[in-house]
């Protein structure tokens, strides 16, 4: 069985310089835009490896503002389209 582990995904562009260059650090201002960027970054890696969202076993999400949970989950549901199943 092959496993793919991903970690540390942010709303930054997937490919950027290291160390970070200040002018490169641009991301959406709102949580929905940031979540879309994270999910697109993950999808790019999954696609490259031939993995679909249905094969993702676990997602750990870390956020600083719990009042944004609903917005984050709304966006994540667009990627994990499993009907009425829970996403927590």
Say if residues 34 and 76 touch (Cβ distance below 8 Å): no
pTM above 0.85, yes or no: no
CA dihedral 9, 22, 33, 29 (to 10 degrees): 130
Q: Give 42-82 pLDDT, tens digit per residue.
A: 999 999 999 999 889 899 999 999 999 999 999 999 998 76
pLDDT recorded at residue 82:
63
DSSP 15: S
pLDDT recorded at residue 24:
72
Say if residues 19 and 55 touch (Cβ distance below 8 Å): no
pLDDT recorded at residue 35:
95
């Amino acid at each position: 069985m092959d496993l793919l582990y991903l970690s540390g995904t942010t709303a930054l562009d997937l490919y950027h310089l290291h160390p970070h260059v200040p002018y490169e650090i641009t991301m959406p201002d709102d949580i929905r835009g940031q979540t879309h960027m994270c999910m697109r970054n993950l999808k790019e890696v999954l696609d490259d490896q031939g993995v679909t969202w249905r094969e993702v076993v676990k997602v750990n999400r870390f956020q600083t503002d719990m009042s944004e949970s609903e917005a984050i989950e709304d966006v994540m549901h667009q990627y994990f389209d499993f009907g009425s199943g829970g996403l927590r």
